[in-house]
Amino acid sequence: MEGTPVEQVIQSVKDYYDQHGIFLKRFGFGKKPGLVIIDMAYGWTDPEYATGSQRLDEAVIEIRRLLEVFRERSLPVVYTTSPFRQEDVAPFQATKESEKMFRPWDVHACEIDSRLAPRNDEFVIYKDNASAFFGTHLAAHLIDKGVDTLVVTGCSTSACVRATVTDARAYRFKAIIPRECVQDRAAAAHEWNLFDMDAKFGDVVATDEVLAYLKELDTEEKQD
C-alpha cells in the first residue's frame, strides 16, 4: 500500500468501513449556522509557549475568511479559551528545562490571538475541559440563537476540536469541520482525527464549501 504510514492506516480503516457499509455518511448542512473558534489563544498559537505551534498560522488565515462572512451576515460567533489560574500552570510545564526554552504559561497565554480578536458582542466561553459544551452555556446559547449547524474551527484537532464535535453530535447539532480551519501540533494526530470525525460525528469539508453554503443561504433568504 502506497503513502505515509498514517495514510496507509486511514485507507485500511476506510476500506473496512466501505466493506461493511458503515460510517462515512454525510450529515449535511442545516438552515442556521453558528461559528465556534476553539482555543485560538496565544498559549496555542504562539510557538514561544511550549504548548504553542506555528502550524496554526494557516488556520488563522482560513478562520478569518469564515469570520468575516459570519459577521457580515450577523450569524452567531462563539470563542473559547482557558481561564488562567496560577495553580493550574504546572500541567503545562513538563520540566524546568522547558521553562528555559519556552515562555512560562501566563495570563497572556489565555488571551485570544489578536488576529482573531472577538468583538464586544461576541460570546466568549472560558472552559475548564476539552469540549466547548461540557460545563458551559454553549448548547443553550446556540439553541437560543436558533442554530442547527455548528461550524467548528480552532485547535487542537485531536483534543478540544474533537471533543466539541463529538458533543455537538450528541446535542444533535450538525457539526461541520472546515479542514483548513483546524490544526494540531502533530500532523499524524491531525490527519487521523479529521478522518475519524468525518467518519462518525460530522462532515470534514473545505473552507470554500462552507463559504458556498453561506452564499446559498443568502439566496434562499432572498427567495423567501
Q: Respond yes or no: is residue 155 known to be catalytic.
A: no
Q: Of 178, 170, 180, give the one whose Cα is nearest residue 133.
A: 170
Q: What is the residue type of 102?
A: F
Q: Give the residue carrying C-alpha cell 461550524.
A: 151
Cβ atoms 41, 82 nearer than 8 A? yes
| Sequence-ordered list of residues with C-beta below 8 angstroms from that of 140, at least 6 positions apart, any chain | none
Contact indicator for 41, 110 with CB cutoff of 8 Å = yes
Whether the CB-CB separation of 49 and 102 falls below 8 Å is answered with yes
Alpha helix (H) ranges present in the chain? 5-20, 42-45, 57-72, 96-101, 138-144, 162-170, 187-200, 207-223
Backbone φ and ψ for 154, nearest 5 degrees, come out as 115, -145
Task: Give the span between the Cα atoms of 13 and 15, in whole angstroms.
Answer: 5
**The one catalytic residue among 110, 155, 160, 181:** 160
Region at 74 (left for phi over 0; alpha for psi -120 to 50; beta for the rest): left
Active site residues: 160
